[in-house]
Structure 1
Amino acid sequence: MAHLIREISIQDVEAFTKLLSSIYDDADYMLYNPGEYAPSQSTIISNLERIITSPSNTIFVAEYNDELVGYAIVETEDLERAKHEAKFTMGVIKHYREKGLGQSLINSVEAWCLNRHIRRIEISVVPQNSTAVTLFKNAGYQIEGELRDKLYIDHKYYNKYVMSKLLL
Structure 2
Amino acid sequence: MVHQIREISIKDIDDFVNLLTTIYDESDYLMYSPGEYSPSTTDAINNLEHFITSPTNAIFVAESNQELVGFATVTTKKLERVKHEAHFSMGVIKRHQSQGLGQSLINSVEAWCVNHEIHRIEVIIVPENASALDLFKSSNYQIEGELRDKLYINGQYYNQYVLSKLLL
TM superposition score category, shorter chain reference? over 0.9
Aligned positions of 1:1-168 closer than 5 A = 1-168=1-168
The whole-number CA distance in structure 2 between the counterparts of 1:98 and 1:74 is 22
TM-score (normalizing by structure 2): 1.00
Give distance in 2, aligned partners of 1:73 and 1:34. 20
Q: Which runs of 5+ in 1 are unaligned?
A: none
Q: What letter matches 2:65 in structure 1?
A: N
Aligned residues: 168
Q: Which amino acid aligns with 2:42?
A: S
Q: How high is the TM-score relative to the length of structure 1? A: 1.00
RMSD over equivalenced CA pairs, Å: 0.3
SS in 2 for 1:34: coil
CA distance in 2, matches of 1:98, 1:27: 15
> Whole-Å Cα distance in 2 between the matches of residues 60 and 31 of structure 1?
19
Sequence identity (%): 64
In 2: Cα distance, 1:166 partner to 1:46 partner: 31
Give how far 1:21 is off: 0.1
In structure 1, what residue type is equivalent to 2:27? A
Runs (4 or more) in structure 1 with deviation over 6 Å come to none
* Structure 2 unaligned residues grouped into runs of 5+: none
Query: 1:151 and 1:99 mapped to 2: Cα distance?
Result: 28
**1:98 CA displacement:** 1.0
